[in-house]
């Protein structure tokens, strides 16, 4: 019986590995995006996964101060961990989709991603007011309701909005730093860029949809640092002016963004480039 790898069937265990195909090419095939777009989208996800480290660093650096204004500052670290795992779940789903986001139907990984985000917000609520048993009950109920609503197809946005608003309000009361409300502005931009992405399939928007999620974690880390060191930070006027300006700019640009062409898939882009 011949043991020549060249004669083995492609599906057999003795099939030879083509030495010409480098590992990076195999990895590249799993990202169904043109080169520059792929770099932007992947960079946005790496930054999003890494950003909770800023929150962990802020809590670690100012633990003594936080223990005077929060009930359970350690839960902020657990919230950061929840955000990291959520982002990893999202990246795993993107890998299954070959990173070409089209607004696919719900999936297990997407359910985990969204539920963990809400759980992370709930942990921030408990970090501020975790000494009250009824708060634990409300937060746990909120996370369970969100998870169930997702699975049975009921609107989940109101539950997430309430949890996010509660987190921002409580953190503001504890730290007296308006910048924590920047997380609410990021929700608008997440929905804004996602809407443009789904309508146009322009995958550059995938990167923007992802990167704006960093805002909430960065804002919380800044608020902790400023409050602990007695700095004024960003005031109400500055926050409102910047937020209104950014939202206004986005709305003005929306008609133009909706005319963006769909991003060609990687193979299509390579074929088009080879015929030029």
Burial annotation 100-139 (CB, 10 A radius, 16+ → b, else e): bbeeeeeeebbbbbbbbbbbbbbbbbbbbbbeeeebeebb
Asked if 125 and 168 count as a contact pair (C-beta separation under 8 A), the reply is no
pLDDT of residue 5: 46
What is the C-alpha to C-alpha distance for residues 142 and 139, in angstroms, rounded to an integer? 5
pLDDT for 32 equals 83
DSSP state of 259: T
Cα gap 101→82, rounded to integer Å:
23
Other beta carbons within 10 angstroms of residue 58's beta carbon come to 24
Backbone CA torsion sign across 90, 110, 29, 274: negative
Domain boundaries, the chain: 47-264
Spatial contact of 193 and 215, defined as CB atoms under 8 Å apart: no
The model's pTM = 0.84
For residue 259, count other CB atoms closer than 10 A to its CB: 9
pLDDT exceeding 90 applies to what percent of the chain? Answer: 69
Tokens 């982002």 correspond to: 87
pLDDT at position 27, please? 73
Q: Assess contact for 228 and 175: CB atoms under 8 A.
A: no
Eight-class DSSP state of 155: -
Residue 104 near residue 130 (C-beta atoms within 8 A): no
d(CA 186, CA 199): 20
Which pLDDT score, from 0 to 100, does residue 104 have? 67
**pLDDT given at position 265:** 81
Decide if pLDDT at 18 tops 60.
Answer: no
Pairs from 157-161 (Cβ < 8 Å, separation ≥ 24): 159/118, 160/114, 160/117, 160/118, 160/121, 161/187
> Quick check: 141 pLDDT over 70?
yes
pLDDT at residue number 34: 87
Using alpha carbons, list the distances in angstroms from residue 20 to 17, 24, 25, 34, 139. Answer: 9, 11, 10, 22, 54
| pLDDT tens figures, 87-136 | 999 999 998 888 888 776 678 999 999 999 999 999 999 999 999 999 99
Residue 15, pLDDT > 80, answer no
Provide the percentage of residues in the chain whose pLDDT is more than 70.
87
Per-residue pLDDT tens digits for 211-241: 999 999 999 999 999 999 999 889 999 999 9
Residue 13 is predicted with a pLDDT of: 46
- Give the C-alpha separation, 103 to 191, whole Å: 12
User: The tokens 């000494």 sit on which residue?
Assistant: 131
Instruction: Write out pLDDT tens, residues 172-224.
Output: 999 999 999 999 999 899 999 999 998 999 999 999 999 999 999 999 999 99
pLDDT given at position 113: 94
Question: Is residue 183 exposed (0-12), middle (13-18) or buried (19+ Cβ within 10 Å)?
Answer: buried
Average pLDDT of the segment spanning 50-65: 96
Distance CA 224, CA 243 (A): 21
Instruction: Round the average pLDDT of the chain to a whole number and report it.
Output: 88
Q: pLDDT tier at 275 (50, 70, 90 boundaries)?
A: low
């Amino acid at each position: 019986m011949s043991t020549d790898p060249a004669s083995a069937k492609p599906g057999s265990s003795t099939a030879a590995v083509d030495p010409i195909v480098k590992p990076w090419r195999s990895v590249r095939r799993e990202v169904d995006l043109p080169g520059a777009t792929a770099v932007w989208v992947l960079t946005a996800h790496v930054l999003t996964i890494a950003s909770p480290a800023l929150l962990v660093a802020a809590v670690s650096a100012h633990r003594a101060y936080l223990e005077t204004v929060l009930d359970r500052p350690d839960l902020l670290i657990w919230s950061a961990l929840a955000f990291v795992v959520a982002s990893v779940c999202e990246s795993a789903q993107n890998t299954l989709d070959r990173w070409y986001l089209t607004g696919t139907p719900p999936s297990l990984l997407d359910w985990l991603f969204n539920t963990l985000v809400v759980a992370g917000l709930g942990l921030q609520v408990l970090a501020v007011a975790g000494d009250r048993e009824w708060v634990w009950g409300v937060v746990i109920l909120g996370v369970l309701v969100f998870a169930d609503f997702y699975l049975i197809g009921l609107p989940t946005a109101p539950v997430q909005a309430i949890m996010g608003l509660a987190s921002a309000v409580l953190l503001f009361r504890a730290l007296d730093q308006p910048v924590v409300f920047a997380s609410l502005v990021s929700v608008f931009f997440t929905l804004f860029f996602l809407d443009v992405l789904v309508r146009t399939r322009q995958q550059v928007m995938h990167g923007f949809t992802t990167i704006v999620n960093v805002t909430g974690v960065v804002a919380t880390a800044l608020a902790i640092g400023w409050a602990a060191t007695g700095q004024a930070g960003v005031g109400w006027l500055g926050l409102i002016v910047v937020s209104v300006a950014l939202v206004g700019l986005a709305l003005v640009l929306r008609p133009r963004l909706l005319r963006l062409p769909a991003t060609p898939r990687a193979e299509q882009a390579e074929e088009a480039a080879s015929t030029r």
